Amino acid sequence: TTEERYSSYRFYDSEVNAQLQTRLRLETDLGMALERQELLLYYQPRIQLETGQLVGAEALLRWQHPTLGMVLPAEFIPIAEETGLILPIGEWVLRTACNQLKQWQSQPLPEGFKLSVNLSARQFQQPDLVEVVQQILAETAVKAAALELEVTESLIMADVKVTTEMLSQLHQQGVALALDDFGTGYSSLGYLRQFPFDTLKIDRSFVQDVTESSEAAAVVKAIVTLAKSLGLGIVAEGIETRSQLTYLQSLQCDEGQGYHFARPEPAAAIALRFPQPTSV
Ligand code: C2E
Ligand code: CA
Ligand code: CA
Ligand code: CA
């Protein structure tokens, strides 16, 4: 009936309205999240597939909102990018991650342990990004080689020339560089040769399907072969099952992350995974 349709339109309207309100609310609140100390980092273990050893961790941003609870990055990183808040937030992430690494380093860490931090395209529009990274490494006394920066192909696309220059400068400082979400962008192959990456991270969407789809399995196999032939390290993202792990091990994929090993967790939980001093 007309009446029913009318009420469903009204329902739709109020639904859209509610979404807009939430969005506005998040935007306003995000502006204050840093000074109110509502942002925090979780860390997801990175595992050497052959041995099961912990070889690093990825810092993943969380927002503990006073009334909405824990907000995931998919909901607020886009807002942070649109508003420019990603610049102070991104700097906070880098500084917090490096401070955490420094603190972890007071106990014996697994050899070659690396902490990875995600960078947004907007951060590469900051002319002083390289100096900011340098400054944070200096003030936290963390070795550049223990820090890995993860960037995506879309980031590079934004301004190939400027980004290449900045990535090269970061690389010259000794910082490790990883190409994140590999396979989801385009022209990937050309970029691999052109940019100073050390590691390639295969996107979760491929890893997820390796045991169900022979195409996905073939794509992952090709990416691993490619990475190896270019002398790049390779990390599989989003390993959730033993059979996915077994497949990746059979390809001699170096490292992996995923719920099969561990979810992102607070810093204190990561510390428990480090080699514990043997008691006397
Ligand atoms: P990403 O860099 O690709 O990070 C991996 C995401 O996959 C994380 O989601 C992680 O929790 C999730 N994940 C890991 N293993 C599994 C698995 O086995 N199964 C499934 N279903 N998911 C898994 P999260 O923490 O929600 O982060 C989402 C995205 O937000 C990140 O994707 C990254 O693009 C962005 N992000 C997170 N932290 C930061 C940050 O500090 N700065 C910037 N610029 N972006 C960030
Ligand atoms: Ca990442
Ligand atoms: Ca990724
Ligand atoms: Ca992703």
**135-179 residue pLDDT tens:** 999 999 999 999 999 998 877 777 888 888 999 999 999 999 999
Q: What pLDDT sits at residue 117? A: 98
pLDDT digits (tens, 9 = 90+) for 252-269: 999 999 999 999 999 999
How far apart are the CA of 149 and the centre of ligand 4, in A?
14
Query: What DSSP state is assigned to residue 180?
Result: E
CB neighbours (10 Å) of residue 141? Answer: 9
pLDDT for position 252? 98
ipTM of the complex: 0.98
Q: Residue 10's pLDDT band (boundaries 50, 70, 90)? A: low
Radius of gyration over every alpha carbon of the chain, rounded to an integer in angstroms: 21
Measured from the CB, is residue 244 less than 6 Å from ligand 1? no
Looking at every residue in the chain, the average pLDDT score rounds to: 92
* Distance between Cα 181 and ligand 4 center (Å): 5
Does the structure show a pLDDT above 70 at 280? no
Ligand 1 atom 30, closest CA: 73
Which token pair is 44? 């997801």
Angle at 164 between CA 40 and CA 160, to 5 degrees: 100
> How far does the centroid of ligand 2 lie from the alpha carbon of residue 203, in Å?
9
Tally of CA atoms within 13 A in the half-sphere of 16 that contains its CB? 6
Q: What is the pLDDT of residue 114?
A: 97
**What's the pLDDT score for residue 161?**
86
189 or 28: which carries more pLDDT confidence?
A: 28
Q: Is 140 in the pocket of ligand 1 (CB under 6 A)?
A: no
Q: Identify the residue whose C-alpha is closest to ligand 1 atom 27.
A: 73
Helices (H), 34-113: 73-83, 86-104
**How much is the average pLDDT of 33-47?**
98
CA distance 215 to 170: 36
For residue 72, give the ligand nearest its CA.
1
Confirm or reject: Cβ of 9 under 6 Å from ligand 1: no
The answer, yes or no, to whether residue 1 has pLDDT greater than 60, is no
Can you say how many angstroms the Cα of residue 104 is from the centroid of all Cα atoms in its chain? 19
What is the per-residue pLDDT across 94-118, written as a single tens digit (0 to 9) for each?
Answer: 999 999 999 999 988 999 999 999 9
Whether the CB of 49 sits within 6 Å of ligand 1:
no
Span 114-135, pLDDT tens digits? 999 999 989 988 999 999 999 9
Q: Is the CB of 70 under 6 A from ligand 1?
A: no
Average pLDDT over residues 49-77: 96
Question: Coil, helix or strand for 93?
Answer: helix
Looking at ligand 1, which atom is closest to the CA of residue 80?
A: 44
Of 275 and 234, the structure prediction assigns the larger pLDDT to: 234
Check pLDDT > 70 for residue 4.
no
How confident is the model at residue 12, as a pLDDT? 63
pTM of the prediction? 0.93
Residue ID of nearest Cα to ligand 1 atom 35: 73
Q: How far is the CA of 273 from the centre of ligand 1 (A)?
A: 21
